[in-house]
Amino acid sequence: MKKVAYYVAPLGLIVFIVLLLTFEKLQALDARAADILYDNSILTFFHNYGTIVLVTALVATLVLLILKKNYKLLGVALLALVGAFAINQIAKNLIGRTRPETAGDLTSYGFPSGHTMFSLAIVLLCAYVMTLYVKSEGAKISIWLVAVIFAVVMGLSRVAVGHHYLTDVLAGWALTYSWVVLVIYWYEKKYGLKKKHAFSHINPYPYA
């Protein structure tokens, strides 16, 4: 992963803390976002069907790692996903922010958004793994561009269906980014890059 991603990770944690301390003062922002996004047809579509894409991408990524016998990265990916879920549950219950009235029968707390966190964790991990096994810089940029757009749309869809405030989603993005990048940073520091060999274009296997 590019070094700039590591430098931005602490900023994500700072953003989360700021949102934690100020979300009650940002009700006007949440209300404005709800007015703009609520019941948006495109975002609602992604809310209804985006999970299928996420699960498919995740399964494909895990299968790829198994086929490549990259069990260390497979374990790290699972750690990042389980960790994101655990962090979300702990944070929600400690903070105890209720959801919008439009959330209907949902009774769990809303800050930070769990769907946003898990979606972003999957997207980041899938994009990271995919870019390890492609050579073209253009392809790598395209993968990350699609990943970022998909993560943003999935997060905003939670506001569109009335299940979360915008600040719940922003906090989910910030916290998950910091966590996943931290896990990847640990992985890369611990195992490092293998030197490229003559047949790396045939059997890409950049990590131990």
What gap in Å lies between CA 188 and CA 2, rounded to an integer? 11
Contact, 97 vs 168, CB < 8 A?
yes
Residue 191: pLDDT over 90: no
Lowest mean pLDDT among 51-55, 102-106, 172-176: 102-106
pLDDT at site 201: 34
Residue 25: pLDDT over 90: yes
Q: What angle do CA 135, 180, 134 make, to 5 degrees?
A: 10
- On the 0-12 / 13-18 / 19+ scale of CB atoms within 10 A, 137 is exposed
Position 195 confidence tier, pLDDT thresholds 50, 70, 90: very low
Residue 206: pLDDT over 70: no
Question: Between 4 and 50, where is the model more confident?
Answer: 50
CA proximity to 168, closest of 4, 19, 3, 15: 19
Residue 198: pLDDT over 60: no
Type of residue numbered 170: L
> Could you tell me which residues come within 8 angstroms of residue 108 by beta carbon, excluding any fewer than 6 positions away?
92, 99, 114
**Residue pLDDT, tens place only, 95-150:** 999 999 888 888 889 999 999 999 999 999 999 999 998 888 899 999 999 999 99
pLDDT at site 193: 56
**Cα torsion for 194, 200, 205, 208, to the nearest 10°?**
-20
**Residue pLDDT, tens place only, 83-93:** 999 999 999 99
What gap in Å lies between CA 115 and CA 51, rounded to an integer? 9
Residue 79: pLDDT over 70: yes
